[in-house]
Amino acid sequence: MVVALGALFPAVSLAVDGGDAEEPTKQAGEDRWVPSLAIIGGVTIQQQDGNSDSFMVDLNSNSTPLQGFIEGSDTAVSPFVGGSLELMSPALPFSLRPRLFVSGEILPTFAADRDLAVEGNPSCIRGPEPNAPCASKPGGLSGTSFNAENANGQGSSLITQVDTLVFGANLGVAFPVEVLERQLRIKPSVGWISYEVEADGLVVDAACGDPNSIPPSTRCNDFLREMTLAASDSQRFNGIGPGVDVEMDAGQLGPLGVSLFLGGRAYAIVGDRDMSFSDTKSYDDQLGTDDATALFEVKVDPWIFRAHVGIRFHYLGNQD
């Protein structure tokens, strides 16, 4: 943390005056309640795991895999830029003059999609030739003859995204420190975060042929059953855990003070960490009477981590 502070504030070195204990220099506004507004930018990081399974069951309860069982994982790195409102108490009557603070945050997040479990390229069933149209469109089966084994557009995907609205709160203690005539505050705290994960699952599979023809056909051009199974889900997760900020006063203009800060937090997820959802479709055609099912599952890691920097504007009131 000290190294990072030195990188953010070149004026602050690693040398801290370690001489005889002295009464800390009085900081502006420490004898009053100080509200502040901060602009914060940073990232959250969390591991996510997922799997999908798809199969078909006939009238005799015989099960046949479609795309089968697929699993994978990815690290969700989610940038955010948001704001925080904080209220800091007057200095407590102790030698270190600590101050209590409480804050609330709204952190709009701009996260990319995460591909957890992907196999093939699920879209629509097409012939094997390049740029073939979807078989379900008019004229889509008029091209090169193909079977289910070499049909394009089959596959399975499970994709997640952290929703834009992320918010949280913090409760902690600020300890004033003077470093090379710079006023700093070390701010350990306990924080809460709330965020939502959205998940989308898709399975596309083809069954082809005409068993009633002579001889029986397996060509998709003769008959195509395009099985598209899609489902989605979302869940809000909550985490609680420790954090620390290092904040440096940068200047003051009248009753308005400005400070710069950086920090990090780790949150333990409380409650259920799993999302399970599915889709089933029934078919009754010349290939038989069957139910096609796709099952999807997403699990988030027990911890989510956060790093951030920001600028804070304090209302210090009129100073005597």
Domain coverage including residue 189: 33-315
* 46 within domain boundaries: yes
State the Cα angle at 214 between 213 and 215, rounded to 5°.
105
Residue 8 in any domain: the answer is no
Q: Is residue 230 part of a domain?
A: yes
Q: Is residue 12 part of a domain?
A: no
Confirm whether 11 is domain-assigned. no
Residue 225 falls inside a structural domain: yes
Question: What pTM did the predictor assign?
Answer: 0.84
Considering its fold, how many domains does the chain have in total?
A: 1
pLDDT in tens, the chain (320 residues): 434 444 444 433 333 334 444 455 577 778 899 999 999 999 999 999 999 999 999 998 999 999 999 999 999 999 999 999 999 999 998 888 999 999 999 999 999 999 999 999 999 999 988 888 898 888 778 778 899 999 999 999 999 999 999 999 999 999 999 888 788 999 999 999 999 999 999 999 999 998 888 888 899 998 999 999 999 999 999 999 999 999 999 988 889 999 999 999 999 999 999 999 999 999 999 999 999 999 999 999 999 999 999 999 999 887 55
Flag whether 18 is in a domain. Answer: no
User: What contacts 24+ positions apart, CB below 8 Å, involve 218-224?
Assistant: 218/147, 218/148, 219/145, 219/146, 219/147, 220/125, 220/127, 220/135, 220/141, 220/146, 220/147, 220/148, 220/151, 221/141, 221/145, 221/146, 223/285, 223/286, 223/287, 224/125, 224/135, 224/136, 224/141
For 8, phi then psi, to 5°, come to -80, -35
Residue 92 domain-assigned (yes or no): yes
